[in-house]
Amino acid sequence: MPEEKKGLTGALSDQLKGATRGTIEALAMKMGVLPSERAWVAVDIGASLAAISLKATVDFFKAAPEVARLLENGDLRNWAELGRRIALNNAEEASEFFRSSADTLGALPVRVRPLLVNLCARQIVLSPASALATFRSAPQTISAITDEAAAVRLFGIAVEVAHRSVKHSTEVLNAAPRALAVARALEQTLRLDPDPQAKRPLDQILDLASQFAERTGATAAEFLSAVGDGLEFISERAEIDALCSATSAYLERGGATALQFFRSARVVMELGGRTSFEKWSRVARNVANEGNAIVYDFLKLTPRVCAALAATRLRRREADRRHEVIGSVLDVIEELTTSNIYIALECFKSSPRALAVASLEQFQSWARSGAMLHPQDRRRATAYFALESRTSQESLRGANDGVTLESIAHLLRLYVEALTGREMLIAPIGSIPDESRIGDGHTIYLPSVVAEFGSTEEDFRLYKALAAHAAGQIEFGTREIATPDIRAAISEIDAFFIEKAREVDSRNDPEFAIHSEQHYLRARQLRPLAAEELEAADYRTALGRFANIGLATRIFTTLENGRIDHRLRQAYRGIRRDLDFVRKRIIEHRPPVMELPVEQAIYELLFQITICGGVVDDKGRWAYAEIIRAFENIIADYLRRDASSVGDTLIATLKVYSLIGEQKQQKDAEQEASQQEQEADEEQSENDEGESRQQKRAAQQQRASDPFTQWSQSVEETLPSDSEMLNELMNAESSEQELQEGDLAFFYDEWDRELGDHRAKWCRVIQRENRRGPRDFVEGVRARYSGIISSIRHQFQMLKPESLRRVKGELDGEDFDLEAVIDHHVDKRSTGRASDRLYVRRIRREREVAVSFLLDMSSSTARTITRHPNQPYTRPGQKIIDIEKQGLVLMSEALEAVGDSYSISGFTSEGRRNVKYFVVKQFGEKYSPEVERRIGGITYHNNTRLGAAIRHAATELERQDARTKLLIVLSDGRPYDHDYGDSRYAREDTKMALRQAKTNGITPFCITIDRESEAELKDLYGEVGYTIIDDVLSLPERMPGIYRRLTT
Amino acid sequence: MTQPLSSPAIPGDQAIEKYRIKKEPYYLSIKNEHALFETAHSAKLPVMLKGPTGCGKTRFVEAMAYKLGRPLVTVACHEDLSATDLVGRYLLEGDDTIWHDGPLTTAVRHGAICYLDEVVEARKDTIVLIHPLTDDRRILPVEKRGELLSAPDDFMLVISYNPGYQSVLKDLKQSTRQRFLSIEFDYPPAEAETQIVAREAGIDEAMARDLVKIGEKVRNLKGHGLEEGVSTRLLVYAAQLIARGVNPVAACEAAISSPITDDAELQRSIREIITTVI
C-alpha cells in the first residue's frame, strides 16, 4: 500500500509540477480512499488535464473521490472527459464543473446519473455550453418531473435522441417538464380509472416519445412540446388511448407525419370532441392510402380548417354545437373520400368559407351536389369547392333557409342611408354579435349570414335591428365631437382620477401605489388636453382618459348600445317591434349569471340591465341585489333620459367604472385568499379535487362562449381576423395590389370554358385616371394631320343632324299646311269627306350615339412598325401604341365635330386581381387640355385580359342614355394574361364578354392589326363586327372612316 | 292640350271668372315668401318658383292669387306645348275660322296671374315667347292677329322650375332665368310639414309627425337611386288614406314607397323605413 501510494504521489507530482508539495500530499491522501484501479484512472485523466489547466486539475482531484463514489468506472471516465473538454474551452468553467459535480450528481436518482453523464458527453461534442447547461439544470429538470421512473426514461430518450441529433436532445429536456406535467394532470383527471393494469398516460406519452426518438431526434422534442400545449380536453381514458395508438401507427410513415398527425389530432379532439376525432382519423386513413405527401398536406391543413370552422360560425353557440358542426363536416368529407380523395380535400378546405354563408344543411347538400357534378374532374371540383364557379355559389345559396348579407346588402344600405342621410358601407363579419360594435361612422358591420329563426322574414328582422342600431349610432351622435356634454364628461373623468391619485398619495404606500392606477397616472401625468385636442374630442378621447382604457371601453360599448336602443325606441315606434324581437333572442342566449365567475357576472349583469331591460336570471338578481340596484340607478339617471347624448354615456361609464373597480379590488383580495386555501387543500381530499375540477371546467366553457369577447375587445376593429384566415386558407394565388388614392375597384365574373360556367367575381378591375403626359403629343398629331383633320371635321359635321325637321300632314302642329288646307276645303266641298291632316309639325331629330373606345395598352403594343425596314435610323418606324394614340386624336376631332358622346380608356392587366382600366376621357367630360395630356400619357405595360376590360367598359356604356351604343376595341392581338388560362380559355372568355355586351344592347366592334391568325380572329370577333388594318400606319386616317360607316 | 281651347273669343268677365279662386287655399308660410311675392306683384316683376315637385309651389300661387284677388290661369307645360297653344289660334268652325285666345292671352287681357308650371318642360321656342312679357315692355305679340297686347298692371307671370332634374336638357337657359325673381322652395321643415299634413288630411299630430319623419328619411335617399324625395303632397295623400281608416303601413306603401320608384329594392328599403317609424 505505501508502495503504491508512493507511486501515486510520484505520478501526481510529476504532473502537477507547479503545485505545492502539500497540496499533492493532501490529494494523494484523498485519492487513497479510492480503490486503486479507479485512482489510476483518475491520475490518467489528471495527467491530460494538467496540460490544459492546473487549477482545473487540482479541482478535479479534489472532486474525484466523491464523484467516484457516485459513478461507475466507465462513467467516471466520461465525467472526467467531460471536464477536460470544458477545460479546453474555458478552464474557469471546468473548475466550476468539477467543484459542483458531486452535489449535482448526488441530487439525482442513481439510475439517472450515468444517463446524464452519457448525454452530456454526447452534447459536448457539439457545444460545451449546452452540455454544461444540461448538466447544471439536470437536478431542476428532475425535480420538475418528480417521478423517478419517468425521469430515467426521459433521460434515456434524450440519450437516444443525442445519438442522432445532439441539438434536439437539449430540446427534449426543455420540453419534457411541461409535457410530463400535462400528462400527470391528465392522470389526475382520469383518476377514477377502473383498470389499474392499464398503462398510465404518462407512460403512454413517454412510450410515444421514445418511439419518435428512435426515428428522428427533432420530432421527439417537438412531440413533447406539442404535448406540453395541453391535453386538458381529454376526459376519458379511451380518448388518450386512441390518440396515442393512432399516432404511433403513423410513425411508420415517418416522424414528421406522425408528429403532424398528433398536432392535428389534438386540435380536432379539442375542437370537435371524440366522435369528430374518430371520423377524422378514418378520413386521414383513407387519405393516407393515397400517399404520404397528400396525407401530410391534409394533416397540416386540419388545424387551420378546424379553427376556422370553430371561429366562423359557432362562436355564438355553446361549445357542444361546435363539436356537432365539426363532426357533421367530417361526416360529409368521409362520405366524399369514398369517391375521390382530392375532391374531398378540396371540400374540406373550403368548408369554413362555405359555412360562413350557409347553414349546415346547405353545406351538406352543396358538398354532395358538388361531388356529384364533378365526380372525377379535379379541376372543376376545385373551382366548385373553392366557391369560384357560379353554379357552386348558387347551389350553396339555392337551398338557403337563411338570409345572406349579400342578398340584402344593397337594401340595408339604402335603409341605413335613408335613416342617417349619409353614405354608408356594409361589411360582413363572421358571426352574429350580441351587441353592435361602435362603428367608424362609415362602415356598418353585419353578419354575413343569418339563419337563426327558420323564416326569412325573421332573419331579416335581425338584420334590420342591427342596421337600425348602427344608424342610430350616427343619428344619435355616438361620434359627436367636442359637444359641451363630452367636455363636461372629460373634465369629470379627469377629476375622478385626480381625486383617486390624491387618495393614493395620502396613503403613501409604495407597494399599493404600484398596483394602483396611480402608477399609471404618474406615467401619463394626466396632462390636461390641449385646446386643439379639446376641439376634436370625441368619445375615444374621453375613454383615453381612463386609467384602464380596456375596461372603460368595454363598459362604454355596452352602455352606448343601451343608450342607442333607448333613443331608437323613443324616436321610432315601429322599430320597437324588431328590437323587442331581437331582445327576446338575446335573452334566450344569456348564460346563467350564477355560473359565471364574479368578474364576468358583473359585466353580464350590466349587459342584461342595459340591453335586455333588466336582469333575466332570478337567482342572479337575488345574489347581486346591491350592485344591480346601483347599475339600474346609473342607467335610469343617464341613459334612459330624453335626448341623452354620448356625453351622458361617458359619465355613466365613469360611474360604472368606479363601481366595478371597487368590486374588482375587493374580489382580487378574496380570490388570492381562496386560491391559497385551495392550494393547501389540494392534496387533502379527493372530493374537493373533483369539485374544483368541475368549477374549472365550467370556467373554461364559459370562456368559450364569453358573451363579451366578440364585441368588447376593441372599438373600431377592422375586419375580423377570421376572414383573413379564410382568405389564407383559400390561398388566393393571385395577390392583389394596393389601391391608390382615387382608384375604384370593380369585380367581374369570368367565363371558364372547361367549367362551362362563370367564375364568380373572379377579376378585379381597378379604374384609374390615366396619368398625364405632355400635351405636345396631341398638338404634334394635329399639326401633322392638319389637312386630314379638316376634311374629317367637315365630313363629320355633315353627319350632324339638323335639329328640327318639318313634317307635313300631321293631325296637329304649329302651323297649317297650306296645301293640305286647300285640299281639305276642296275635298269637303266636292265629296264631303276630308282629311284632318292639315298641320305642319317640326320634329326634333337626334343622333343619339354613345361610343366607348377601349385601347389595348399591353406591352405588345410597344412593337415598332415601319415602312422602311432597311432604314431603321434615318426613317424610324412608330410604336403601335403611338399609332393608336394618333388614331384617338383624329377620332376625337371627328367626334367633337359630330357631337357624339364618347369615352376613351385603356387597359392592361397583371393577373386577374389587377386588371387596370385607365380612364383617358369619360363620357360627358370635355375634350380639354387635361384630356389631351392624358392621351399623351398613354403608354404600354403588362398583359391583355380582354374579357374583364370589355365587361367593365360595357358596364360603363350601359349607363349611357343613348339609342346607339358602340364599344370599339382597339387591339393588337390575342388576349393574354399570366393566369388567363390557355389561349382558348382567354378567347372564350372574351367572346362571352362580347356576347354579353351585345345582349345588353351594345354594339361591339373590334379594330385589330394582327394579321397573323385570321382564323383565330374570326373565332374571337366573328360574332360581332371586326376589321383588320393591314397597313398599320394608316390606322389613324382610317379610324374615322370606319366609325362613320358604323354609325350611319 | 291642358287648357280648354274653347273659351269664347270675346274677352269678357265671365270667361275669366272661372279662373277666380273662390275659397281660400290653405298655405302655411315658411319664410317670407308671401311678402316677397306681393312686392313683386306690385312692382310688376315676374317670379320664378324653384323647388322639388309637390312641395307646395302651386298651392302657394293659388293662395297668393286669392290673397291678391286675381284670377289664376295655370298652364302645365309639356314638350309639345307650342306658342300657338299659349297665345291662341284660329279654329275652323263650320265655314268660318274663329280666333280662340290661348291661356296666356286670356291672362294678359284680364290682368290675371299666369302660372306656367314646370316651365322647362316646354319647348325652347315657346319659352322665348314669354320674354317680352317679362321685361319692362310687358307686351304679348299675337302675331297671327297682328295684335300687340300690353299687359295691365295686375298681370303677373309666374313660372315654376324644378332644378332637381339632372339632365342637361332640362335646364333653363340663362337668358330665360335671368328675367325672373326667384323664390326658393323646399320641403317644409318638420314642424311645419307636420302641421300641414295634419291639417290637410285631418289626422292627429302624432301620426302626422311619423309621416313627416318617414318623408325626411326617404328624402335622404335622394341621389341613391331616388331622383326626387317624397313630396309633401304624397305625405298628405298617405295621411288622407289613414284618415279614412286605411292601415297606416298600407297607406304609406300606396302613397309613398310605390309612387316614387319602380325599383323593387328601393321600394323594399322604403317599406322598411316605414315599418321602422310606425
Please provide residue B11's backbone torsions phi and psi, each rounded to the nearest 5 degrees.
-65, 135
Residue type (1 letter), A659? L
Mean pLDDT over residues A125-135, rounded? 78
* B276·A468 Cβ contact <8 A: yes
* B210·A573 Cβ contact <8 A: yes
| Cβ-based contacts under 8 A for chains A and B | 59
* B265·A414 Cβ contact <8 A: yes
Please provide residue A405's backbone torsions phi and psi, each rounded to the nearest 5 degrees.
-60, -40
User: How far apart, in whole angstroms, are the C-alpha atoms of residue A436 and residue A214?
Assistant: 55
How close, in Å, is residue A465 to chain B by CA atoms?
9
Name which of B82, B213, B220 is nearest A417 (Cβ-Cβ).
Answer: B220
**Domain locations in chain B as residue ranges:** 13-184, 190-277
What does the pLDDT read at residue A274? Answer: 80
The bridge status of strand A901-909 relative to strand A849-856 is parallel
Name which of B84, B220, B266 is nearest A420 (Cβ-Cβ).
Answer: B220
**Hey, of A572, A842, A844, which one would you mutate to test binding to chain B, going by the most B CBs within 10 A of its CB?**
A572
pLDDT greater than 50 at residue A1009: yes
Helix (H) or strand (E) holding A233: none
pLDDT digits (tens, 9 = 90+) for A941-990: 888 888 899 999 998 888 888 878 889 888 877 788 877 877 788 888 88
B213 contact residues in A (CB cutoff 8 A): 571-572
pLDDT greater than 80 at residue A524: no
- The residues with which A714 forms a beta bridge, in sequence order, are none
pLDDT greater than 70 at residue A546: yes
What does the pLDDT read at residue A979? Answer: 79
- The residues with which A443 forms a beta bridge, in sequence order, are A425
* B273·A573 Cβ contact <8 A: no
User: How far apart, in whole angstroms, are the C-alpha atoms of residue A67 and residue A102?
Assistant: 5
A411 contact residues in B (CB cutoff 8 A): 265, 268-269, 272
User: How far apart, in whole angstroms, are the C-alpha atoms of residue B266 and residue B226?
Assistant: 8
What does the pLDDT read at residue A574? Answer: 86
How close, in Å, is residue B270 to chain A by CA atoms?
7
Minimum CA–CA partner of B1 in chain A: A812
**Hey, of A406, A410, A415, A475, which one would you mutate to test binding to chain B, going by the most B CBs within 10 A of its CB?**
A415
User: How far apart, in whole angstroms, are the C-alpha atoms of residue A919 and residue A941?
Assistant: 15
What does the pLDDT read at residue A508? Answer: 56
* B270·A418 Cβ contact <8 A: yes
Q: Per CB distance under 8 Å, which residues of B are interface residues toward A?
A: 82-84, 210, 213, 217-218, 220-221, 224-225, 265-266, 268-270, 272-278
How close, in Å, is residue B26 to chain A by CA atoms?
29
Please provide residue A230's backbone torsions phi and psi, each rounded to the nearest 5 degrees.
115, 145
Percent of chain A with pLDDT over 70: 77
DSSP string, A836-849: ---EEEEEE----E
* A574·B278 Cβ contact <8 A: yes
A577 contact residues in B (CB cutoff 8 A): 275
Lowest mean pLDDT among A223-232, A754-763, A830-839: A830-839
Minimum CA–CA partner of B263 in chain A: A411
pLDDT greater than 90 at residue B66: yes
User: How far apart, in whole angstroms, are the C-alpha atoms of residue A1039 and residue A1047?
Assistant: 13
Place of cell 400517399: A291
What does the pLDDT read at residue A1044? Answer: 79
Name which of B213, B221, B275 is nearest A417 (Cβ-Cβ).
Answer: B221
Q: CA distances (Å), B216 to each of A558, A565, A959, A964, in order?
A: 29, 21, 29, 39
User: How far apart, in whole angstroms, are the C-alpha atoms of residue B74 and residue B77?
Assistant: 9
* A574·B82 Cβ contact <8 A: no
* A418·B269 Cβ contact <8 A: yes
How close, in Å, is residue B143 to chain A by CA atoms?
13
Place of cell 396613503: A507
What does the pLDDT read at residue A397? Answer: 62
* A411·B268 Cβ contact <8 A: yes
Q: In this predicted model, which residue has the larger pLDDT, A316 or A328? A: A328
B108 contact partners, CB below 8 Å, separation of at least 6: B114, B133, B140, B149, B151, B152, B155
Q: How confident is the model at residue A410 (pLDDT cuts 50, 70, 90)?
A: confident
Lowest mean pLDDT among A487-496, A752-761, B22-31, B245-254: A752-761
Name which of A421, A422, A574 is nearest B277 (Cβ-Cβ).
Answer: A574
How close, in Å, is residue B226 to chain A by CA atoms?
10
pLDDT greater than 80 at residue B91: no
The bridge status of strand A864-865 relative to strand A878-879 is antiparallel
Burial class (CB in 10 A: 0-12, 13-18, 19+), B274: buried
Q: In this predicted model, which residue has the larger pLDDT, A281 or A691? A: A281
Q: Please, what is the end-to-end C-alpha distance for chain B in angstroms? A: 42
How many residues comprise chain A?
A: 1048
Q: How confident is the model at residue A903 (pLDDT cuts 50, 70, 90)?
A: very high
pLDDT greater than 90 at residue B63: yes
Burial class (CB in 10 A: 0-12, 13-18, 19+), B173: exposed
CB–CB of A439/A470 below 8 Å?
yes
Minimum CA–CA partner of A419 in chain B: B217
pLDDT greater than 90 at residue B40: yes
Minimum CA–CA partner of A815 in chain B: B84
* B265·A411 Cβ contact <8 A: yes
Mean pLDDT over residues B192-199, rounded? 92
The per-residue pLDDT of chain B, averaged, comes to 84
A850-A854-A858 Cα angle (round to 5): 175
How close, in Å, is residue B51 to chain A by CA atoms?
20
Minimum CA–CA partner of A829 in chain B: B95
A838 contact partners, CB below 8 Å, separation of at least 6: A809, A816, A817, A820, A821, A824
pLDDT greater than 50 at residue B150: yes
B264 contact residues in A (CB cutoff 8 A): none
How many residues comprise chain B?
A: 278
User: How far apart, in whole angstroms, are the C-alpha atoms of residue A994 and residue A951?
Assistant: 8
Minimum CA–CA partner of B268 in chain A: A411
User: How far apart, in whole angstroms, are the C-alpha atoms of residue B226 and residue B214?
Assistant: 15
pLDDT greater than 80 at residue A663: no
Percent of chain A with pLDDT over 90: 2
Q: In this predicted model, which residue has the larger pLDDT, A687 or B22? A: B22
| Collapsed DSSP state (helix, strand, coil) of residue A816 | strand
Percent of chain B with pLDDT over 90: 35
A28 contact partners, CB below 8 Å, separation of at least 6: A5, A8, A9, A12
User: How far apart, in whole angstroms, are the C-alpha atoms of residue A185 and residue A208?
Assistant: 18
pLDDT greater than 60 at residue A692: no
Grid coordinates belonging to B98 = 274663329
Q: In this predicted model, which residue has the larger pLDDT, A251 or B1? A: A251
The per-residue pLDDT of chain A, averaged, comes to 75
pLDDT greater than 60 at residue A708: no
Place of cell 363579451: A708
Residue type (1 letter), A224? L
| Angular region, A482: left φ>0, alpha ψ -120 to 50, beta rest | left
Superfamily for the B13-184 domain: P-loop containing nucleotide triphosphate hydrolases (3.40.50.300)
* B276·A574 Cβ contact <8 A: yes
Mean pLDDT over residues A693-699, rounded? 40
Q: How confident is the model at residue A527 (pLDDT cuts 50, 70, 90)?
A: low
Minimum CA–CA partner of B126 in chain A: A814
Q: Which domains, and CATH codes, for chain A?
A: 1-106 (no CATH), 108-232 (no CATH), 403-475 (no CATH), 484-712 (no CATH), 776-799+848-1047 (3.40.50.410), 804-844 (no CATH)
B269 contact residues in A (CB cutoff 8 A): 411-412, 414-415, 418
* B265·A468 Cβ contact <8 A: no
* B277·A573 Cβ contact <8 A: yes
pLDDT greater than 50 at residue A696: no
